[in-house]
């Protein structure tokens, strides 16, 4: 039979659920002494700022299931749910029907959000679309710079989700489940693949906000759920300490902090000679890592060495101002430093009303930085193994809601770029009014399965025993959408 360790029957997956300490420590008795030694070695050896040879730790997958196309993900989450009808899904028929009653044959018996119990009228796109690049991808004129990189994009026009309100829809997009306490995509990736750096968290979240259409997001969107908290996303703050508690206390300089950490570890080392408890060794290693993180995080957010031209390309007005532009630049720096999953939330897309003013504003927040990020990664040779995902938690109704559009789950668009996706294509289609995805429908689980496949992971084989089940990101569903892969 198969001699390769099989993650499904892999003893450590079970050990994890039975006794997590076992996982962290390889066994309660520190059988992983060698592993610990190498952890310490890594912690002490390499200079903190050395980009390119960051220390790493491995996930549960020892060998990829598929060829690895992408090593990391940058998810540009357009929180609030951008209209597909004004981004990537041009519907001339809808435009023609503008302000006319929306055909009931489409909507009968369907779930609506704020349009419940309302008269439904068609609302055509308020902006023009242009066929761009060699690929001729149709992209809304609200995004001139994204238009200019059309040939890098792999647009999916036939997305569907299951949740029509922001909170559960985000949860579904991030964790594949609406039940709370499920790990998010980034946590699954860390669990499966480990990280290429230990100087920084392996899963980083940045948030920014536009002028209109703001909706809250919850830290559960980057929670490790039932996976160990080691795998949780760490939100970098735009003000104060970038990572909570990463700054030294008031009145403590870095050299004193070093002395404190040394003394803690010296005493912990003495304890270890007296007590058989491998957690002590882990603790010592974690203090080393913590101290290194304290040094690496400030370096990460120091943009002073970025050329002026780069700042201009991204549209960064003031580095570290918490704007989407600044976050995109930070995302590139995180990617360079081996962070596995980088998630940017831009809260600006909930356009129930005044869409003609609000959506151009949101588009102008993200258009330039998104295009600059993709181009920058391309120029640095990093786009090939960096998977970009751009999109919201759902789409918006082709029916108008006053001066805007309501939430919509039957159709929306996202795009991917880099990381082994087929560039310059569109996939799937909605019906003539953009109401329902009809051709090559892609579910959120399919999207997850495809993303994992690009990372070299068979989504059916990345499991964690939880409450007696082999839980996975895609639940019991999900099909890899091969035509999206280059």
Partner 1 sequence: MQTPFRSQPRAVRALGLMALAASAIHAVAADRVEYNRDVRPIFSENCFLCHGPDKNTRKAGLRLDLPEEAVRAGKSGKIAIVPGKPAESELVRRLVTSDADDLMPPPETHKQVTAEQRETLRRWIAEGAVYQPHWAYIAPTRPAVPQGGTKKGTSATKAGNPIDAFIDARLALQRLKRSPEADRATLLRRLSLDLTGLPPTPAEVDAFVRDRSADAYERQVDRLLRSPHYGERMAVPWLDVVRFADTVGYHGDQNVNVFPYRDYVIDAFNRNKPFDQFTREQLAGDLLPGAGDEARVATAFNRLNMVTREGGAQPKEYLSKYAADRVRTVSMTWLGSTMGCSECHDHKYDPFTSRDFYSMEAFFADVKQWGVYNDYDYTPNPDLKGWSNDHPFPPEIEVDSPYLRRQASQWSQSMRAVEARVAKDATRGALREAFVNWRDEVRASLVRQPEGWFSPKPSRETNSVPILISDSAVVSPSGTGEARNGESVIRIPVSELGQGTLAALRLELLPDGANAITLSGGSTTIRPSFQWVDAQGKATSARIRFAEANLSEPRYANGHEMLGIQDGWKTSSKRSKEPHVGVWLLQSPQRVTTSLALRVTLRTDQIRNFRVSVTPLAAAYPLASGQRADTAEALSPGKSGDLAKAADALALPFLLGSDAPAIVEARKEWQTAHGRWLECRGGRSPVVVTAAWKPVPVRVLPRGNWQDESGEIVSANPPRFLPRGELPNSDSLNRLDLANWLVSPANPLTSRVFVNRLWKQFFGTGLSAQVDDLGAQGEWPTHPELLDWMAVEFREKGWDVRHMVRLIVTSGTYRQSANLRLELKDRDPNNRWLASQNPRRLEAEFVRDNALAIAGMLNLEIGGPSAFPYQPANYYANIQFPDRDYRSSASAEQYRRGLYSHWQRTFLHPMLANFDAPSREECTATRTVSNTPQQALTLLNDPTFVEAARVFARRLLSGSDTTDAARIRTAFRLAISREPRATELASLTSFLQLQRVEAAKQPTDAARLVSVGQWPAAKQSPIELAAWTQVARVILNLHETVTRF
Tell me how far apart the alpha carbons of residues 140 and 118 are, in angstroms, rounded to a whole number: 28
- Asked if residues 193 and 482 have their Cβ atoms less than 8 Å apart, the reply is no
Give the nearer residue to partner 1 in terms of CB position, either 134 or 239.
239
For partner 1, give the closer residue by CB, 27 or 440: 27
The Cα–Cα gap between 451 and 127 comes to: 31
Q: Binders of partner 1: how many residues, by CB under 8 A?
A: 118
Q: Which of 160, 176, 195, 70 is nearest to 449 (CA)?
A: 176
428 dihedral zone (left: phi>0; alpha: psi -120 to 50; beta): left
Which part of the chain contacts partner 1 (CB under 8 A), choosing from 131-139, 236-244, 309-317, 331-339? 236-244
| Binding map of partner 1 across residues 100-119, x = CB under 8 A, - = no contact | ---------x-x-xxxxxx-
Cβ-proximal residues to 268 (8 Å cutoff; 6+ apart), any chain: 280, 283, 284, 287
Decide: residue 2, CB within 10 A, 0-12 exposed, 13-18 middle, 19+ buried: exposed
Query: Alpha carbon of 396 to those of 127, 172, 272, 339: distances in Å?
Result: 15, 17, 59, 32
- Contact between 240 and partner 1 (CB under 8 A)? yes
- Residue 40 binds partner 1, judged by CB under 8 A: no
Residue numbers 141-180 binding partner 1 by CB under 8 A: 164-168, 178-180
Among 95, 121, 220, 375, indicate the residue that binds partner 1 (CB under 8 A): 220
Helix-strand-coil split of the chain, %, nearest 5: 40, 20, 45
User: Does residue 49 touch partner 1 according to CB under 8 A?
Assistant: no
Q: Find the angle CA(474)-CA(460)-CA(465) to the nearest 5 degrees.
A: 80
Residues within window 193-212 making contact with partner 1, judged by CB under 8 A:
207
Asked if 270 is part of the footprint of partner 1 (rule: CB under 8 A), the reply reads yes
- Binds partner 1 (CB under 8 A): choice among 51, 53, 62, 211: 62
Q: Pick out residues in 20-39 that bind partner 1 (CB under 8 A).
A: 20-22, 24, 26-29, 31-32, 34-35
Gyration radius of the chain over CA positions: 23
Mark the segment that binds partner 1 (CB under 8 A) among 89-97, 137-145, 242-250, 379-387: 242-250
Which of 219, 321, 356, 483 contacts partner 1 by CB under 8 A?
Answer: 219
Is residue 241 close enough to count as binding partner 1 by CB under 8 A?
yes
| CB-nearer residue toward partner 1: 284 or 383 | 284
In the list 50, 100, 254, 259, the residue contacting partner 1 (rule: CB under 8 A) is: 259
Instruction: Give Dmax over CA atoms of the chain in angstroms.
Output: 81
Shortest distance, position 248 Cβ to partner 1, whole Å:
6
- Contact predicate 75/185, CB 8 Å: yes
Identity of the residue, 281 or 332, whose beta carbon is nearer to partner 1 in the bound complex: 281
- Regarding 482 and contact with partner 1 (CB under 8 A), the answer is no
Is residue 295 near partner 1 by the rule CB under 8 A? no
Contact between 258 and partner 1 by CB under 8 A: the answer reads no
């Amino acid at each position: 039979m198969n001699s390769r360790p099989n993650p499904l029957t892999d003893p450590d997956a079970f050990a994890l659920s039975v006794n997590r300490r076992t996982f962290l420590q390889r066994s309660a008795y520190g059988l992983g002494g060698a592993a610990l030694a190498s952890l310490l070695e890594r912690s002490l050896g390499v200079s903190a700022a050395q980009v390119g040879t960051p220390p790493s730790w491995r996930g549960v997958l020892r060998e990829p299931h598929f060829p690895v196309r992408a090593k990391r993900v940058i998810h540009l989450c357009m929180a609030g749910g951008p209209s597909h009808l004004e981004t990537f899904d041009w519907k001339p028929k809808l435009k023609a029907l503008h302000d006319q009653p929306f055909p009931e044959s489409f909507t009968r018996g369907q779930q609506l959000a704020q349009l419940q119990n309302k008269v439904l009228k068609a609302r055509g796109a308020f902006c023009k679309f242009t066929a761009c690049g060699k690929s001729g991808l149709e992209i809304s004129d609200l995004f001139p710079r994204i238009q200019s990189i059309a040939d890098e994009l792999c647009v999916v026009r036939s997305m569907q989700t299951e949740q029509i309100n922001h909170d559960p829809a985000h949860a579904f997009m991030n964790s594949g489940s609406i039940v709370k306490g499920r790990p998010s995509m980034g946590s699954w990736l860390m669990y499966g693949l480990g990280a290429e750096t230990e100087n920084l968290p392996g899963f980083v979240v940045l948030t920014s906000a536009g002028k209109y259409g703001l909706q809250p997001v919850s830290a559960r969107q980057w929670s490790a759920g039932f996976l160990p908290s080691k795998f949780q996303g760490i939100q970098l703050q735009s003000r104060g300490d970038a990572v909570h508690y990463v700054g030294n206390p008031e009145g403590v300089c870095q050299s004193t902090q070093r002395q404190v950490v040394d003394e803690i570890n010296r005493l912990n080392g003495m304890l270890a000679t007296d007590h058989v408890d491998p957690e002590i060794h882990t603790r010592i290693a974690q203090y080393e890592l913590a101290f290194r993180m304290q040094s690496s995080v400030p370096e990460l957010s120091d943009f002073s060495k970025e050329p002026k031209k780069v700042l201009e390309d991204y549209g960064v007005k003031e580095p570290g101002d918490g704007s989407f532009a600044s976050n995109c630049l930070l995302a590139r720096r995180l990617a360079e430093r081996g962070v596995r999953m980088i998630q940017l939330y831009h809260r600006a897309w909930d356009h129930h009303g005044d869409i003609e003013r609000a959506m151009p504003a949101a588009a102008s927040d993200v258009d330039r930085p998104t295009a600059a990020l993709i181009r920058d990664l391309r120029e640095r040779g990093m786009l090939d193994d960096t998977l970009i995902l751009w999109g919201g938690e759902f789409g918006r109704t082709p029916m108008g809601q006053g001066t805007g559009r309501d939430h919509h789950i039957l159709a929306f668009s996202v795009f991917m770029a880099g990381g082994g996706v087929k560039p310059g294509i569109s996939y799937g289609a909605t019906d003539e009014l953009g109401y329902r995805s009809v051709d090559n429908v892609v579910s959120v689980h399919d999207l997850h399965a495809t993303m994992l496949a690009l990372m070299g992971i068979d989504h059916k084989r990345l499991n964690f025993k939880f409450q007696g089940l082999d839980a996975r990101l895609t639940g019991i569903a999900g099909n890899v959408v091969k035509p999206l892969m280059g």
